[in-house]
Amino acid sequence: GIPLLAFWVFQFAFADTCSTITSGAMVGRCGFVGDILYSIGVTGFIYPIIGHWGWGPDGWLATMAVPFRDFAGSTVVHSIGGAISLIGSLALGPRLGRVFLRDGGGPPMPHNIILGAVGGLILWFGWYGFNPGSTLSAMDMQGISRVSFNTTAAACSGALAALFYAYARVGKWDLGLTTNGFLAGLVAITAPCYWVSPTGSFIIGAVAGVVVIWAMDALEYLRIDDPIGAVPVHLVCGIWGTLSL
């Protein structure tokens, strides 16, 4: 009962998100023409195919004996965008002058961590279009309320878990890791947000807040340069969120 153009615009925003995830992992090494080309590839070919697998009425994931469930895209949007980010980081290699921790260096200082945190909070705000919007009807009041609450709880627990875990490791309050912590919680809860309890959402987000730091450590060890943590946040926590359901 949803107008085709309305649904198309909604899916357009998801396709766009899948593409913009990739841009963060390739910061400093990808020109504008390259950005346009991979965006065409992601939004024109990769996302529509994967989206149809999971959400199309006759998609093979949707028609399995035990159906694949992903309410708002932990896998269909975030894990796919994160996987493309990983490939982009590997293909382009590290930024010039990037020295990894095992070689005596470490991640460079951010230009402006406050702007980064503000950007993260804008994303958090947008998630209320992403997750509650995926009910596709404000008349489902129970469902949209549950999704909204679960989205909030997972983001908060992800932020707190990352904040205190990072402090326990280095003895400093790390705003960057806290920002990635609430984004990790948001990504993880995106698949199960309609079905899990508030307690479940809090646990899912908290686990994501720790997992994202472990994944960032793993990329640093493997000498993969992902400046903003797109792969840990979107690929790894997208996988965790889907499995958690």
Q: Which residue has the tokens 């996302």?
A: 47
* pTM (two decimals): 0.96
The pLDDT tens digits of the residues spanning 53-74 come to 999 989 999 999 988 999 999 9
The pLDDT tens digits of the residues spanning 4-51 come to 999 999 999 999 999 999 999 998 899 999 999 999 999 999 999 999
Cα(189)–Cα(180) distance, rounded to whole angstroms? Answer: 14
The mean predicted confidence, pLDDT, of the chain is 95
pLDDT confidence of residue 14: 95
Distances (CA, A) of 217 to 82, 157, 212, 229: 16, 20, 9, 10
pLDDT at 149 over 90: yes
The pLDDT tens digits of the residues spanning 92-148 come to 999 999 999 999 998 888 889 999 999 999 999 999 999 999 999 889 999 999 999
Cα three-residue angle 47-95-18, rounded to 5 degrees: 15
